[in-house]
Chains A and B, each alone.
Chain A
């Protein structure tokens, strides 16, 4: 047995055989340019994963509208001219009336409030507590209109129609480079999917825009402020990318979140969500001819209303020195060392992926060296992220015992020196290639995983990547690894972040005591008695259930009376923490997803 294992030749034969597999979806393109990848499979009978992707994300934004890709993703769940309201004509009137008020408030804020802000009179031009009389009056008018519109709004009708027809796992995600929408439906409900998705691509209402803005602001607060390292990571990211629009946070800068006009949002929608810019992906148990007919009749009539989106122009500039960022948070002490690498599809991408695999895992170099042998790290890992226009490679670790963050950085530099100076052994390299070959297939077995890979690679370039990348990984040599390590891991041009635990503890997180103090006395005892079982219940939820729960709370947030706001924020915080924990364990299929 053991001698057989050491016969490298046999194993090599294995891998080259294994990677001969092809992912070959049926391609179908409508006259309006909307592209489809159809992947019929009978491995999971009676169920379909369907969705569509637009190659638009925060990288396509500009100062003033950062976060608009993500806000738009939220708004596309708010119904259409006809779905989500019991009176389409009156609803349109309300939306137009609200637009007028919103424009007036914006103009006043940019003029009067910004001036007060620059002069140091107020700390946030958008905060309602600083409202002038005029703003207060406009805001009151807005509230009245919103309440009246609310009476004819059918809340979450989009969601209810899908759920009532056996749809499950409905969600969407926005990243720096793409925005994707997806759901699982029973095999006989493909027409429902075509109806619902073509309807929102044709005439999204952007209803509840003002309320949703606050939902996103809450989400921003959750992600960046309630998560331990969120705020710091955002600035470290922004610093790392220098000129490239990857320096925008996907969720947007706070000032911009308040400022979008409906015209800006509509223009963005009509530019990036016109059919010629979209790819639909259907995976699962369906009939191809029938799917094509449904695609023709539902997506065929969609029109391209604007000129094609302008290409992304600004690329990053090389780092010329070391960037070092230190911060304090309610977090474990941790260090990250990050390097510029290569964009998606670059010839060196495969070598970076192999390096990352060499370092990771129970039998990988980082665990053995930093955790087991030197006993200075509680955890240590590396990752490579090749995005559409640029990439990054990072090492991160948390210390153990008396080890300092500097000790970890030094240990990491030693690992780099090893990569630079010594060729990786044949057996170690082969281990990585064997795992890569097997993991490629494992990742394609499940409908939804296959859906994401087809959609995202298509948004980045072409699904052909799914066939080409495994071959490229198998072709990586020990010399390639050494060359890439020497070329990219220059000691004078890395970015390093070091976070240490803030003294005094939990400042940023909302505590149960704060919640209790915020509640009206007569309700406090009753509500507080419910919190613990609710938290226990949260512990049992899956990532998807948590995400759905968060979306549900967000959808209802404008109906929450002021005394309950803190409680709601607390529950959202607790759900987000659990969701983050699950996702950081690698359970989330949508890399970089933001919804």
Chain B
């Protein structure tokens, strides 16, 4: 070491720098006093209107730019497609946009939309379908006319159909490549069955059976005013756009309203299920029936699950399985709620073969702990603060807001849901969390879905683990009883004869 500056010099130069700052400036950011963030969630009723045919229209004016966005949302989706045509909804929605209209070839339609600088989309999902238009205010008449023609009279052009179908079939070839894809598919079959839209999967057979007439029939069932809700945001006058939409409905006849979303009928057998796959790491999904979205206990369950495994590094499963034990990079839990029937609770982790059983034991340990001990005040407060602080982001833009209101009305959410949400979060107590865990976590009725090399997984970590307390095998779960699921052909998804 050579010459160094003296400590005194250093201190002098430091105080010189800080002199340049204002006297009233807090010395550290943690000393700054911040004002409360005041936020009152908007009410859907302030934005809702109705056309004479009963179609609800949510309008939020914004005149900052001469742009309009119109979103049509229709009740209907894959759930209306017969099981032998599984996959038809996605194909139909995509071709509505790309396949031209009765009076225009696909190329011509693309050209017209481009000329009008209009961004247009169409899609059909599991339970809702939609179409959207974004264009300059001054082009609304022309662009909306084309948009309506696309919605009412799509051509389903033969060439574009062939191209799209080919792409879908090609994508099936890689369906057994990723272990997590297999795990989710097989869990879906187990939990929801192979007929309900939640569980079933498209195959080469179902896609090849779909005809243009089938798609036209599905389109006709869904895309009519009986199923329609509209959201408009942007540079519009509320009165004018209502009159404009009213006129556009004139010659559009109302069909039958899409049926109720079917309840799943599959009863599943709890237990351990394996799918054989030669891979160095194992995907484990531990799942059982969850709750309905609007269940009275839904907020308690949300806070409970965030503590258990739903809030990343803050949560217990992640902390135990990943941070402390280093058994997995991805580990956590989630409640996927459904509106019309109970959804699914799922805990998940990916680990190496030998520690599959140990990690599973740790997850069950965390479930047991949250059922038998109260969570700490600190744990609960962190989750409460986070849910309250991020709450305004639900209403971040007018488009997002109108979308939320449409979805809320379609799914029958209580009117005061958003108004009271934060109070409900703040009211959650330690005993509420424990009760929610006791009532809605049911490890005894879980399905443990495991994808990987089965024999090695079953053997556990006895050979590699020195600590006897950490030696674990899959015999620990469900008395060692398990089912090895048949391997499936990626395109047909039919069981292949093993050996």
Q: Which of A's residues lie within 8 Å of B, judged by CB?
A: 1-2, 4-5, 11, 13-14, 17-18, 21, 41, 43-47, 81-83, 88-89, 92-93, 96-97, 100, 104, 141, 161, 165-166, 186-189, 191-192, 195-196, 198-199, 202-203, 297-298, 300-303, 361-363, 427, 430-431, 434-435, 437-439, 441-442, 444-445, 525-526, 528-530, 532-534, 536-537
Beta-carbon contact of A529 and B352 below 8 Å = yes
B-side contacts of A529, CB under 8 Å: 280-281, 351-353
Q: How far is the CA of A462 from the CA of B117 in the complex (A)?
A: 28
Closest 5 CB pairs of A and B: A529-B352, A533-B350, A438-B117, A14-B138, A441-B65
Beta-carbon contact of B1 and A141 below 8 Å = yes
Beta-carbon contact of B17 and A166 below 8 Å = no
Cβ-closest chain B residue relative to A446: B397
Beta-carbon contact of A445 and B24 below 8 Å = no
| Given A46-B39, A434-B117, A442-B67; A195-B32 close (CB under 8 Å) | yes
B184 interface contact, C-beta 8 A: no
Beta-carbon contact of B67 and A445 below 8 Å = yes
A-side contacts of B14, CB under 8 Å: 81, 88-89, 92
B466 to chain A, nearest CB (A): 13
A-side contacts of B116, CB under 8 Å: 5, 434
Beta-carbon contact of A445 and B65 below 8 Å = yes
**B8-22 contact mask (Cβ, 8 Å, vs A): 1 or 0:** 001101100110111
Q: How far is the CA of A216 from the CA of B26 in the complex (A)?
A: 33
Cβ-closest chain B residue relative to A41: B64
B-side contacts of A528, CB under 8 Å: 280
Cβ-closest chain B residue relative to A445: B65
Q: How far is the CA of A43 from the CA of B67 in the complex (A)?
A: 14
- Besides A89-B14, A202-B20, A298-B22, 17 more A-B contacts (Cβ < 8 Å) are A1-B142, A2-B103, A4-B145, A13-B138, A17-B138, A47-B392, A82-B28, A196-B29, A198-B21, A202-B21, A297-B25, A363-B107, A363-B114, A437-B117, A528-B280, A533-B329, A534-B329
A-side contacts of B1, CB under 8 Å: 97, 141
Q: List 18 A-B contacts (CB under 8 A).
A: A1-B142, A18-B66, A100-B4, A186-B389, A188-B34, A192-B32, A202-B21, A298-B22, A363-B107, A363-B114, A431-B117, A435-B117, A441-B65, A441-B66, A525-B280, A529-B281, A533-B329, A536-B180
Cβ-closest chain A residue relative to B27: A82
Beta-carbon contact of B352 and A525 below 8 Å = yes
Q: How far is the CA of A13 from the CA of B28 in the complex (A)?
A: 56
B174 interface contact, C-beta 8 A: no
From A1, A191, A526, contact of B34 by CB (8 A): A191
Beta-carbon contact of B115 and A427 below 8 Å = yes
Beta-carbon contact of A362 and B110 below 8 Å = yes
**B136-167 contact mask (Cβ, 8 Å, vs A): 1 or 0:** 11110110011001000000000000000000
Beta-carbon contact of B142 and A82 below 8 Å = no
From B24, B114, B393, B395, contact of A297 by CB (8 A): B24
Beta-carbon contact of A434 and B329 below 8 Å = no
Cβ-closest chain B residue relative to A13: B138
B-side contacts of A188, CB under 8 Å: 34-37
From B110, B279, B326, B397, contact of A44 by CB (8 A): B397
Beta-carbon contact of A537 and B114 below 8 Å = no
Beta-carbon contact of A1 and B145 below 8 Å = yes
B-side contacts of A93, CB under 8 Å: 4-5, 7, 10
**B70-114 contact mask (Cβ, 8 Å, vs A): 1 or 0:** 000000000000000000000000000000000100010011101
A-side contacts of B32, CB under 8 Å: 191-192, 195
A-side contacts of B34, CB under 8 Å: 165, 188-189, 191-192
Q: How far is the CA of A93 from the CA of B178 in the complex (A)?
A: 53
Residues facing A in B158-202 (CB within 8 A) are 178-180
B52 interface contact, C-beta 8 A: no
Beta-carbon contact of A361 and B114 below 8 Å = yes
**B328-354 contact mask (Cβ, 8 Å, vs A): 1 or 0:** 111000000000000000000011110
B53 interface contact, C-beta 8 A: no
A-side contacts of B107, CB under 8 Å: 363
Cβ-closest chain B residue relative to A164: B30
Q: How far is the CA of A161 from the CA of B32 in the complex (A)?
A: 12
A-side contacts of B281, CB under 8 Å: 529-530, 532-533
Q: How far is the CA of A437 from the CA of B136 in the complex (A)?
A: 8
B358 to chain A, nearest CB (A): 13
A-side contacts of B67, CB under 8 Å: 438, 441-442, 445
B-side contacts of A81, CB under 8 Å: 14, 17-18
Beta-carbon contact of A46 and B37 below 8 Å = yes
| Given A46-B37, A529-B353; A301-B22 close (CB under 8 Å) | yes
Q: How far is the CA of A88 from the CA of B350 in the complex (A)?
A: 43
A-side contacts of B398, CB under 8 Å: 43
From B2, B36, B328, B396, contact of A530 by CB (8 A): B328
Beta-carbon contact of A89 and B11 below 8 Å = yes
Q: Which of B's residues lie within 8 Å of A, judged by CB?
A: 1-5, 7, 10-11, 13-14, 17-18, 20-22, 24-30, 32, 34-37, 39, 62, 64-67, 103, 107, 110-112, 114-118, 134-139, 141-142, 145-146, 149, 178-180, 279-281, 283, 326, 328-330, 350-353, 389, 392-393, 395-398
Cβ-closest chain A residue relative to B111: A363
From B10, B145, B330, B393, contact of A89 by CB (8 A): B10
B3, B117, B351, B398: residue with the most chain A Cβ atoms closer than 10 Å: B117
Q: How far is the CA of A14 from the CA of B235 in the complex (A)?
A: 14
Q: How far is the CA of A5 from the CA of B281 in the complex (A)?
A: 58
A43, A161, A444: residue with the most chain B Cβ atoms closer than 10 Å: A43
Beta-carbon contact of B17 and A202 below 8 Å = yes
A292 to chain B, nearest CB (A): 14
A-side contacts of B136, CB under 8 Å: 14, 18, 434, 437-438, 441
From A186, A198, A526, A537, contact of B352 by CB (8 A): A526
From B13, B25, B103, B280, contact of A532 by CB (8 A): B280
From A17, A104, A431, A537, contact of B329 by CB (8 A): A537
B-side contacts of A361, CB under 8 Å: 114
Beta-carbon contact of B352 and A530 below 8 Å = yes
B372 to chain A, nearest CB (A): 30
A-side contacts of B64, CB under 8 Å: 41, 43, 444-445
B-side contacts of A192, CB under 8 Å: 29, 32, 34
Q: How far is the CA of A444 from the CA of B27 in the complex (A)?
A: 37
Cβ-closest chain A residue relative to B39: A46
| Given A188-B36, A437-B136, A533-B328; A4-B141 close (CB under 8 Å) | yes
Cβ-closest chain A residue relative to B351: A529
| Given A192-B29, A525-B352; A21-B4 close (CB under 8 Å) | no
Q: How far is the CA of A533 from the CA of B114 in the complex (A)?
A: 41
From B18, B180, B392, contact of A45 by CB (8 A): B392
Q: How far is the CA of A302 from the CA of B22 in the complex (A)?
A: 10
A-side contacts of B7, CB under 8 Å: 89, 93
Cβ-closest chain A residue relative to B114: A363
B-side contacts of A534, CB under 8 Å: 329-330
Cβ-closest chain A residue relative to B107: A363
A-side contacts of B353, CB under 8 Å: 529
Beta-carbon contact of A96 and B4 below 8 Å = yes
B-side contacts of A300, CB under 8 Å: 22
A157 to chain B, nearest CB (A): 10
Beta-carbon contact of A187 and B37 below 8 Å = yes
Beta-carbon contact of B115 and A431 below 8 Å = yes
From A14, A96, A203, A427, contact of B139 by CB (8 A): A14
Beta-carbon contact of B11 and A18 below 8 Å = no
Cβ-closest chain B residue relative to A536: B180
Beta-carbon contact of B2 and A5 below 8 Å = no
Q: How far is the CA of A496 from the CA of B24 in the complex (A)?
A: 59
B-side contacts of A536, CB under 8 Å: 178, 180, 330, 350
B-side contacts of A199, CB under 8 Å: 21
Q: How far is the CA of A534 from the CA of B281 in the complex (A)?
A: 11
Q: How far is the CA of A480 from the CA of B393 in the complex (A)?
A: 46
Q: How far is the CA of A361 from the CA of B119 in the complex (A)?
A: 13
